[in-house]
Amino acid sequence: MKMLGEKERKKWKFSDVGAWLRNAFMATLRGEFLLRFQASKYFIHIIYTFLLFWVSIYLSLKIEKTMTRVETGRKALEDIEIAHTQKTIELVSMGRMSKVQDMLRAQGSTLDIPEEPAARIKK
């Protein structure tokens, strides 16, 4: 077995990183990046993985948008329930006979509680 010499064995240097990145960037622009790594037989898997990532991101954005709309609707519903409760309380307090009489007197009305039941007109 032959030992590799110092020149034959390539040493990795920190200065090679910039050249490697530039080379990889240029290969990507020319469309040769996957061919250099002989990944052409895995091309369909790469496309499938890209598609899965894209669908995952798209669904996440749609779910986030839906959750925002649900939260906005929930806040609006709480406000409407509060207003409904207030109106119900006002209506119940107005339904009391004495309160209605006081309101009529305050308005100067002569209308009062009938003393006899309503009479029916016969044909």
Given a contact cutoff of 8 angstroms between Cβ atoms, the answer to whether 40 and 34 are in contact is: yes
Burial zone of 22 (CB within 10 Å; 0-12 exposed, 13-18 middle, 19+ buried): exposed
As given in the structure block, the two tokens for residue 29 are 């622009």
8 pLDDT band (50/70/90 cuts)?
low
1 pLDDT band (50/70/90 cuts)?
very low
The residue type at 71: E
- How confident is the prediction for the chain on average, in pLDDT? 82
Going from N- to C-terminal start, the domains of the chain cover: 18-106
What percent of the chain has a predicted confidence (pLDDT) above 90?
Answer: 26
pLDDT in tens, 87-113: 888 777 666 777 778 888 888 888 777
Global pTM exceeds 0.85? no
Given a contact cutoff of 8 angstroms between Cβ atoms, the answer to whether 58 and 52 are in contact is: no
pLDDT in tens, 23-56: 888 888 887 777 777 777 888 888 999 999 999 9
